[in-house]
């Protein structure tokens, strides 16, 4: 009976968390560090069709530039073992004029300050030091969720505290805590980037989106220009 219970638990867990997980792609900063391009691509679990999304972000204003959102869904069926990367490459081709106008350099990917290695690193408070500058960082992910009938609405923000080498402390609020997203059950900080030029921070956040009996993972970023 115990063995059967374990098997049932594994089966139920798999069903509840079945879905598709996007591949996040860092597509680079602009040469002045003021803009950031990122994308995601994957295979929709229900239809096995490719999709891709791409966003061009104004780091200082923490917003998309005008005309900087690109999406694609493709009718080509992706077979097991194949990649949906081609969907993102198509978006790069479509957005090449816009990307060039903001001087995005695909090789200018910033300096990684934090990368979540595996699912066990599910922490909402991060403390670390940037040994290149001597600045210490504390990121605290604040999540709020409410239910309305069978619907879920959630929001988040990030409290950031920096301590410079001199001991000077500064605090910042990243994101909009009042902006609710429907069907998003959870958020996780996936990575934190520092622009190679200027003093800008990009926080990559994964969204766990409820879709019927499954959960799909998508990505977004919150950005801030530190003073």
Joined tokens for residue 175:
């994101």
Distance between CA atoms of 43 and 219, rounded to whole angstroms? 15
Q: Which of 194, 159, 205, 219 is nearest to 59 (CA)?
A: 194
Q: How confident is the model at residue 8 (pLDDT cuts 50, 70, 90)?
A: very low
What local confidence, expressed as pLDDT, does residue 77 receive? 72
What local confidence, expressed as pLDDT, does residue 76 receive? 75
**Dihedral sign for Cα atoms in the order 26, 170, 173, 115:** positive
Are 203 and 158 in contact, with CB atoms under 8 Å apart?
yes
Lowest-confidence region among 34-48, 54-68, 82-96, 179-193: 34-48
Domain tally, the chain: 1
What value does the mean pLDDT take over residues 122-150?
Answer: 93
Residue with tokens 């090789």: 107
What local confidence, expressed as pLDDT, does residue 19 receive? 67
What local confidence, expressed as pLDDT, does residue 205 receive? 98
What local confidence, expressed as pLDDT, does residue 122 receive? 66
Average confidence score pLDDT of the chain: 89
What value does the mean pLDDT take over residues 77-97?
Answer: 88
Are 211 and 183 in contact, with CB atoms under 8 Å apart?
yes
Instruction: Classify 14 as helix, strand or coil.
Output: helix
Q: What is the pLDDT of residues 163-206, one digit of tens each?
A: 999 999 999 999 999 999 999 999 999 999 999 999 999 999 99
Distance between CA atoms of 54 and 89, rounded to whole angstroms? 10
Q: How confident is the model at residue 3 (pLDDT cuts 50, 70, 90)?
A: very low
pLDDT over 70 at 13, yes or no: no
The DSSP bridge partners found for residue 115 are 191
Who's near 6: CB < 8 A, 6+ residues apart? none
pLDDT over 60 at 91, yes or no: yes
pLDDT over 50 at 109, yes or no: yes
Torsion-angle region of residue 124: left (phi > 0), alpha (psi -120 to 50) or beta? alpha
Range of the domain at 142: 2-225
Q: What count of other Cβ atoms lies within 10 Å of the Cβ of residue 30? A: 22
Lowest-confidence region among 14-18, 29-33, 110-114: 14-18
The DSSP bridge partners found for residue 41 are 23, 52
Q: Parallel, antiparallel, or unpaired: how do β-strands 49-58 and 169-174 relate?
A: unpaired
Who's near 64: CB < 8 A, 6+ residues apart? 55, 56, 57, 58
Q: Parallel, antiparallel, or unpaired: how do β-strands 184-194 and 135-148 relate?
A: unpaired
């Amino acid at each position: 009976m115990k063995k059967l219970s374990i098997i049932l638990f594994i089966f139920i867990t798999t069903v509840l968390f079945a879905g598709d997980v996007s591949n996040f792609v860092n597509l680079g900063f602009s040469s002045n560090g003021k803009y950031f391009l990122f994308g995601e691509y994957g295979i929709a679990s229900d239809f096995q069709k490719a999709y891709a999304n791409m966003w061009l972000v104004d780091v200082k204003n923490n917003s998309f530039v005008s005309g900087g959102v690109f999406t694609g869904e493709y009718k080509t069926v992706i077979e097991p073992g194949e990649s949906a990367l081609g969907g993102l490459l198509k978006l790069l081709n479509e957005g090449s004029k816009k990307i060039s106008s903001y001087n995005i350099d695909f090789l200018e990917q910033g300096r990684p300050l934090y990368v979540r290695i595996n699912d066990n690193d599910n922490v909402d408070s991060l403390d670390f030091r940037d040994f290149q500058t001597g600045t210490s960082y504390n990121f605290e992910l604040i999540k709020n969720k409410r239910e309305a009938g069978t619907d879920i609405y959630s929001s988040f923000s990030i409290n950031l505290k920096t301590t410079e080498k001199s001991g000077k402390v500064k605090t910042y609020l990243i994101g909009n805590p009042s902006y609710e997203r429907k069907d998003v059950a959870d958020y996780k900080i996936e990575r934190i980037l520092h622009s190679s030029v200027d003093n800008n921070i990009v926080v990559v956040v994964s969204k766990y989106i409820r879709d019927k009996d499954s959960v799909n993972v998508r990505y977004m970023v919150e950005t801030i220009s530190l003073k």
